[in-house]
Amino acid sequence: MSPNLDAILFEATGQVPFERAWAAQRQLQQRLLDHPEGPDAVLLLEHEPCYTLGRGASEAFLRFDPAAPPLPLHRIDRGGEVTHHAPGQLVLYPVLNLQRHGADLHLYLRQLEQVVIDVLAGLDLHGERIDGLTGVWLEGRKVAAIGVGARRWISQHGLALNVDGSLAGFAAVVPCGLGDRGVGRLVDWLPGLNSQQLRRPLLEAFASRFGLVLRPPGPQEEVFKL
């Protein structure tokens, strides 16, 4: 991995519908497929409430009729089972040329986990991995879900960190297909914490882990804004 690689930051301040963020990722991915030498990109946002299913996810983990979901339901091209997005959850979508970052999807997943672990360490919290599973846990409760996709080593999707949003929407699914493991949010350990406070630490941990210098989009890159 080369240090100090250029990367474009697209940050949304309001709630973003899942379809809009997914379309932006696909556009940015195609841009790197067409011009692999171009800068990496990352999207930071909070979603409007919804559910997403990975490409091979089982509908058996839904506790509702998928033909009549309580919230928008999207089947997408990432790995993993069902998850829930809502305000108060920070979502980071890196669109990277992974050939510059090890060209190893398993390594990439571990790096994304480490980004979260680094953020938690800055809060004096001990984030944990569980052998054979993807994500980050605190005291047995999953606080960060990770699911990625890639085409010719250009990534999309990423991580979702539960900070201070309601966890009620998770009751309608078996999150990540793990019925025996609960979901948590950081505010339960640190009362008063909110997602706005963690935006900078999350971006800084991500940039440090991947050797990136994040910058705003230039005039020709504004088309990809959320």
| Complete DSSP assignment for 133-157 | --SEEETTEEEEEEEEEEETTEEEE
Cβ–Cβ contacts within 10 Å for residue 207, how many? 18
Using alpha carbons, list the distances in angstroms from residue 87 to 45, 97, 195. 9, 29, 9
**DSSP code of 83?**
E
Selecting among 73, 143, 176, 198, the annotated active-site residue is 176
Asked whether 202 and 46 are in contact (CB, 8 A), the reply is: no
**DSSP code of 171?**
G
Asked whether 226 and 22 are in contact (CB, 8 A), the reply is: no
Position 102: which residue type? Answer: G
Residue 50 appears among annotated catalytic residues: no
Active site residues: 176
